[in-house]
Amino acid sequence: MRRYIGLEGVCKDYSTRHGSRRVLDKVSFELDRGGHLGILGRNGAGKSTLIRLLSGAEYPSSGCIRRHMSVSWPLAFTGAFQTHLTGIDNLKFVCRVYGVDWKPLLPFVEDFTELGIYLREPVMTYSTGMMMRLAFALSMAIEFDCFLIDEGMAVGDTRFGDRCHVELFEKRRDRSFILVSHDPHIIRSYCNRVAVLHMGRLYQFETIDAAYEFYGSHEVPAPAVRFD
Amino acid sequence: MTSLRQSFAIQRRVIGALLMRELITRYGRHNIGVLWLVLEPLAFTVGVATLWSLAGMANRSPMPIVAFAVTGYSSVLLWRNTVSKCNAAIEQNFNLLYHRNVRVMDVFATRILLEIGGATASFMVLTLALLLAEWVEPPQDALKVIAGWLLLAWFGAALATFIGAAASFSEIVDRVWHPISYLMFPLAGAAFMVDWLPPAGQEVVLWLPMVHGVEMVRDGFYGHLMRTHYDVGYLVTANLVLSFLGLLLLRLAGRRAKSH
């Protein structure tokens, strides 16, 4: 069976004090396993909303999302940690949720995070960098067909960045990525398909250069107050 | 696509993972938190029993006062704590929903199971301790106690699902729930036996499904000494209706959950 994720006419509305606001407007695309899609968008274009819908944390207001392959949680996402628990407890939790045995993964997590004894301390004692390393290691510990990446990859020192690069973009090259960012350079180096999210609409282009040209020439105005 | 059977296996696994997570978080590794599970209802039971003895009621009524206090307070925990834990459940656990397998239903089920488990454990330990201390007589019909307790637990689960889901639509629900739960505390059987009320009063309190549950538990404990009033059919019907509405509302709540 074909493995892909497909969005069809996906809309997302949020209610604000000035009435309902459409953040995503009829977004459609398909991505097969192995495809590397970059989505460019400025602040407020709807990138994070799209990631929340793709991961399944939120549902579309209309339209539908078909997942015919496993989709990760947003890469290196630290928000789902229970900070009173240790790093290992959090590893165990994630493994239980995805039905994976945690013991064989421990050496990889120990090696990758370089947390040493802190892996057995509560996550609330971690620095931001330590938390990032743990989050990234957990993302790599569970195997997915498609990884969701919400910018932020530039966090951490260069050495850690390089190791992330190897784990994700080299060792897992055969998987799909959906990378959202406002930075064209990141997307150019990792993706073979680019789309632009502009004011809630997704524009797809034949060539990467055409996408950049469009992105460079479209600004996002501040969300307007509607009086109707 | 996943089959029904696979979904069921995933859900069981996810709820298991959430239970472990909550248990370690709450009762920790260096913490006596789990003791409070029993100490809190014990303090209440002793307090009520003392007040009644001081008032001289214990001599005037054939009712075993300690059994009355322990059934009253423990059963309140079944619906009060489940609801209060579910009211902010979606908001507090939103970030877990980024894991595709974790749904709001699992978050609710986890909290409800933990509260019901805690209340049941405390009720059992407390009853056992009071039996050993000979403060209460053994229940004259233990099966009836268990059946009443399970029906009350079901009611607590259904009420928590319904109110917890409704609370995600508007914060007013949680605000209104607080005074209501305080008012319900004495009304729902912690403070009286239905038999003590005039017929008109009995009719009113018997609208509350939890009153039927408490009366049934008490019937199991000391029904041979006092008249109890309850209707199992009414409680089951109320549970079914509330469960159905609660699950419906929770489905809607899950679809509109959003990050804060």
Q: pLDDT, tens digit, for every residue of A70-93?
A: 999 998 888 888 888 899 999 999
What is the reported pLDDT for B169? 92
Alpha carbon distance B64, B233 (integer Å): 27
The reply to whether residue A80 touches residue B96, judged by beta carbons under 8 angstroms, is: yes
Q: For B90-116, what is the mean pLDDT? A: 92
pLDDT band at B56; cut points 50, 70, 90: low
User: Buried (b) or exposed (e) across A70-89, using 16+ Cβ within 10 A?
Assistant: bbbbbbbbbebbbeebbbbb
Mean pLDDT estimate for chain A: 88
The reply to whether residue A73 touches residue B25, judged by beta carbons under 8 angstroms, is: no
A99 interaction partners in chain B (CB closer than 8 Å): 10, 13
Q: For A30-51, what is the mean pLDDT? A: 90
B13 interaction partners in chain A (CB closer than 8 Å): 96-97, 99
Alpha carbon distance A51, A58 (integer Å): 9
Residue keyed to tokens 């569970």: A142
- Chain A residues near any Cβ of chain B (below 8 Å): 14, 52, 55-59, 67-68, 70-71, 73-74, 77, 79-80, 82, 84-85, 89, 92-94, 96-99
What is the reported pLDDT for A188? 84
Give A154 or B186, the one with higher predicted confidence.
B186
Alpha carbon distance B81, A217 (integer Å): 56
Q: For A40-44, what is the mean pLDDT? A: 86
pLDDT band at A207; cut points 50, 70, 90: confident
Mutate to test the interface with A, among B98, B102, B256 (most CBs of A within 10 A): B98
Are the C-beta atoms of residues B228 and B214 closer than 8 Å to each other?
no
Q: Is the predicted pLDDT of residue A227 greater than 60, yes or no?
A: no
Measure the N-to-C terminal CA separation of chain B; round to a whole number of Å: 30
Measure the N-to-C terminal CA separation of chain A; round to a whole number of Å: 48
Q: pLDDT, tens digit, for every residue of B201-253?
A: 999 999 999 999 999 999 999 999 989 999 999 999 999 999 999 999 999 99
Q: What is the ipTM of this complex?
A: 0.87
Q: Is the predicted pLDDT of residue B153 greater than 80, yes or no?
A: yes
Cα-Cα-Cα-Cα dihedral sign, residues A203, A207, A212, A218: negative
> Whole-prediction pTM value?
0.89
| Backbone Cα Rg of chain B | 20
Alpha carbon distance B243, B116 (integer Å): 16
What is the reported pLDDT for A156? 54
Q: Is the predicted pLDDT of residue B1 greater than 80, yes or no?
A: no
Are the C-beta atoms of residues A37 and A5 closer than 8 Å to each other?
no
